[in-house]
Amino acid sequence: MKFDQMFPSNYLKKEDVVRPLVLTIAGIVQEEFRSDEGVELKPVVHWREPAVKPMVLNRINATILADLYGDDTDGWLGRPVEVYADNTVMMAGRRVGGVRVRAPAAVNVPPAFGADGQVRQARELVASAEAEAVAAGFCVAGDLGTFIRDRAAAAFEAAGKPVPDWVGDLARWPAAALARVESFVQQFKEAFKGAAASDIPF
């Protein structure tokens, strides 16, 4: 029996990564870890690939992901990342090795979810328009997001195409679809202005 087999884990270890893996982030969850010092919450990355164990996210790997996709973890969902074993990782002065992440070399990584990223711009546009409508009593928070998702889904259905699962998550919209967000927001604003100008007493 190998040494690492004596201590199995539910989380990804360097021994699990015999070659670099290109994985897709499904979610980031805070999970409890118990030790002699008590209970500690740590972020854990879950993958869309069901055969791969989730990975406890340390500060170094979290910083790498933030550099790639921005400091909002919502922008990490659906994004590709390469996971690899790094035998140079040190702990307490000893070379113990560990798991590291990086941008996949063979995958077209989407633009960073930063101040100039398309997703950031789309979200800011949606937030601004919705805030105006909420302040006027035309809708409640979340209505514009629902409006955009419904319009996008209706467009696919009208074209006789299946509605892709990314429609429900703006952070996963491809660039060509993000370009349509401004049009959807304009449609919402026109509906808002039309309602404000009407005599409907509710």
The H helix count followed by the E strand count for the chain is 5, 7
> Are the C-beta atoms of 118 and 178 separated by less than 8 Å?
yes
- 81 lies in the same domain as 154: no
Supply the DSSP symbol for 143.
H
Cα–Cα distance, 110 to 78 (Å, whole number): 10
Q: Degrees (nearest 5) of the Cα angle 114, 117, 118?
A: 150
Helices 118-135 & 181-197 angle (0-180, nearest 10): 10
List pLDDT tens digits, range 133-171. 777 777 788 888 888 888 888 888 888 888 888 788 777
pLDDT band at 202 (very low <50, low <70, confident <90, very high): very low
Structural domains counted in the chain: 2
Residue 123's CB is within 10 A of a number of other CB atoms, namely 19
**Per the confidence metrics, is the pTM higher than 0.75?**
no
- 125 lies in the same domain as 46: no
- 63 lies in the same domain as 134: no
Residue 154 in domain: yes
- 11 lies in the same domain as 93: yes
- 23 lies in the same domain as 79: yes
Residue 110 in domain: no
Polymer length in residues for the chain: 202
- 127 lies in the same domain as 172: yes
Query: If you average pLDDT over each of 53-67, 90-104, 183-197, which comes out highest?
Result: 53-67
Q: Degrees (nearest 5) of the Cα angle 100, 104, 109?
A: 125
| Listed residues 38, 72, 102: the one ending a domain | 102
Residue 69 in domain: yes
> In terms of residue numbers, what domain contains 147?
118-197
| Listed residues 77, 102, 127: the one ending a domain | 102
List pLDDT tens digits, range 50-60. 889 999 999 98
**Arithmetic mean of pLDDT, 58-65:** 90
Supply the DSSP symbol for 166.
G
Residue 54 in domain: yes
**Arithmetic mean of pLDDT, 169-184:** 76
Tell me whether residue 34 is exposed, middle or buried, using C-beta atoms within 10 angstroms of its C-beta: 0 to 12, 13 to 18, 19 or more: exposed
Residue 108 in domain: no
- 93 lies in the same domain as 19: yes
Smallest Cα–Cα separation from 81: which of 25, 162, 42, 154?
A: 25
